[in-house]
Amino acid sequence: MSKIERSMEELYKDDPERADAVVFGRKPDVSRRGFMGGAGLAAIGATVGGAIPFSQNMPGGLMPGAFAQDKPAAPPAAAPAAPAAKGPIPLNFPGKSDKLVVLGEKPLVAETPESQLDDDTTPTDKFYIRNNGQIPEMAKDPDKWKITIDGEVNNKLELTLGELKAKFKPVTRRMVLECGGNGRSFFTPEARGNQWTNGGVGCAEWTGVRVTDVLKAAGVKPSAVFSGHYGADPHLSGDSNRVALSRGVPIKKLMDENNLIVWNMNGKPLENIHGFPVRLVIPGWPGSVSSKWFTRIWVRDKVHDGQGMGATSYRVAIQPMVPGGKPDPKNFKDLESMPVRSIITNPADGTKIPAGTREVKLRGASWAGDHEVKQVDISTDYGATWHRAQLGKPKNKYDWQRWTATVKLPSDGYYEIWTRGTDSRGVSQPFVAGFWNPQGYGANPMHRIRVLVG
């Protein structure tokens, strides 16, 4: 134990920002973005050091999370070849909020900052975007859109969306959709892929028909093992022989009655960017199985081998591997249920609160893949003590759970407020992102915000 502790202390002395990244899963460049602007430890001490009420609980030499709002960078159009833009890039896309942050432009990927996830139901303009291929042109005649269910079924189905709507009973469910890579930026060393913080998630009202009802009409054969899902978006290269994304799930998960084929999101036809005219919503598992611009479920007699299956895609290590190490291809399994996560949605990170304030009301959300969230706990003293939040019930299975809490702050000063969710099995969010894997799945460390009183 002392060996690791000593070296961590040394790291704090030599490179506090880096050490902070190791302990809290925060990237050094993210820390630098805030009010410290890259200033050294001495300046930090002078600015907030004396005013950190729980500083005795901070790991030795900890750099407080940099304070104040991140300064938005210029939108991409105004900064053509700017190397490594400083600060988040606001999204500029029709129908979407400019509070979303661009993580990638080709393909287009944007996340929702935690403080923009403060609604019970995520408004469509604030819902994150994740594409793997090109964005297809908007379908002209949605009711003629073709959907195929084939493979290990007794009756191959070829339906139009119009027929699907007429033949099966529609249901509406509020359910979380979350990218498999959500939380990836908290891994050290950096894992390959879009650097999501906690914002690859949203919880919308989805209207559509049950996948199980449609599968019953097709008659699934006993030989069925897995599904393969397809959408109409062209591959990024434009090569028509290649598929942008085609993932699937074991038959047991496919048969979950919560899986929907949806055409409405929040009571309106799907936006094109979210899969118009029809998409799958397979809740609880990586968002990549929820095909947008949905065209086909191929029921298979073996594990699906489409684009995004196998190797290290959407897969985690079976035996823990050395962070940054070389992956052994045999040591991977598919990421199935997403892990428990809780976020503080109000106040926003970096909020300044008037001097003399001794109580802060918090709001947040939590969810846990296939599981329910059992409790959410809050700490204002770097994890020394915890306070139970009031946790709401999900509206239906796979809804997220909103929570509220009131925390007392003993004096003015700099605080960090941490939230930790625990699922129905008793599994909690860890302090740091563990179980590193090359493409960065499953990182769910506690969410941490910074507030300054006075």
Out of 48, 109, 179, 254, the residue judged to bind Mo ion by CB under 5 A: 179
- The one of ligand MTE, Mo ion, none whose footprint includes residue 187, by CB under 5 to 8 A per kind, is none
Q: Does 266 bind ligand MTE (CB under 6 A)?
A: no
Q: Which is nearer to ligand MTE, 174 or 274 (CB)?
A: 274
Does position 284 interact with Mo ion (CB under 5 A)? The reply is no
- Is residue 250 exposed (0-12), middle (13-18) or buried (19+ Cβ within 10 Å)? middle
Contact status: 244 vs ligand MTE (CB under 6 A): yes
Among 115, 207, 227, 288, binds ligand MTE (CB under 6 A): 288
For residue 301, give the DSSP letter.
S
Q: Return the axis-axis angle of helices 16-24 and 2-14, rounded to nearest 10°.
A: 130
Q: List C-alpha distances in Å: 299 to 150, 162, 224.
A: 6, 22, 6
CA separation for the pair 367, 355 (Å, rounded) = 34
Of 89, 102, 157, 179, the residue at the interface with ligand MTE (CB under 6 A) is: 179
The answer to whether residue 297 forms part of the interface with ligand MTE (CB under 6 A) is no
Query: Which region, judged by CB under 6 A, interacts with ligand MTE, from 168-176, 287-295, 322-330, 393-401?
Result: 287-295
Distance CA 403, CA 183 (A): 20
Cα–Cα distance for residue pair 319/332, rounded to 1 Å: 8
Residue 329 three-state SS: helix
Nearer CB in complex with ligand MTE: 63/161: 161
Residues in region 209-238 near ligand MTE by CB under 6 A: 231, 233
Q: Choose the binding region for ligand MTE from 113-121, 284-292, 350-358, 434-442 (rule: CB under 6 A).
A: 284-292
Which of 288, 342, 345, 439 is in the footprint of Mo ion by CB under 5 A? 288
Amino acid present at 18: R
Distances in Å between the Cα of 317 and the Cα atoms of 69, 314, 329, 435 are: 36, 10, 9, 7
Choosing from 27, 253, 274, 300, the residue that interacts with ligand MTE (CB under 6 A) is 274
Asked if 396 and 371 count as a contact pair (C-beta separation under 8 A), the reply is no
Q: What's the closest the beta carbon of residue 453 comes to ligand MTE, in angstroms?
A: 36
Q: Looking at 93-101, 130-138, 208-216, 443-451, which segment touches ligand MTE (CB under 6 A)?
A: 130-138
What is the DSSP secondary-structure string of 66-84?
PPSPPPPPPPGGGSTT-SS
Q: Which is nearer to Mo ion, 280 or 391 (CB)?
A: 280
R_g (Cα) of the chain, nearest Å: 23
Q: E-assigned strands of 211-310? A: 226-231, 260-265, 268-269, 279-281, 294-300
Q: Toward ligand MTE, which CB reaches closer, 182 or 401?
A: 182
Comparing CB distances to ligand MTE, the nearer of 293 and 382 is 293
- Cis peptide bond prior to 277, omega within 30° of 0: yes
Q: Which of ligand MTE, Mo ion, none binds 440 (CB below 5-8 Å, type-dependent)?
A: none
Instruction: Pick from 64, 151, 284, 287 the residue near Mo ion by CB under 5 A.
Output: 287
DSSP tag of 161? H
Query: What is the smallest separation between the CB atom of 212 and Mo ion, expressed in angstroms?
Result: 24
- d(Cα 338, Cα 175) in Å, to the nearest integer? 13
Q: x/- string (CB under 6 A) for ligand MTE, residues 131-160?
A: xxx---------------------------
CB 47 to Mo ion: min, Å = 38
The secondary structure element, H or E, covering residue 207 is strand 201-210
421, interface contact from ligand MTE, Mo ion, none, CB < 5-8 Å by kind: none
Instruction: List residues binding Mo ion (CB under 5 A).
Output: 130, 179-180, 287-288
Chain residues in the site for ligand MTE (CB under 6 A):
127-133, 177, 179, 231, 233, 244-245, 274, 287-288, 290-293
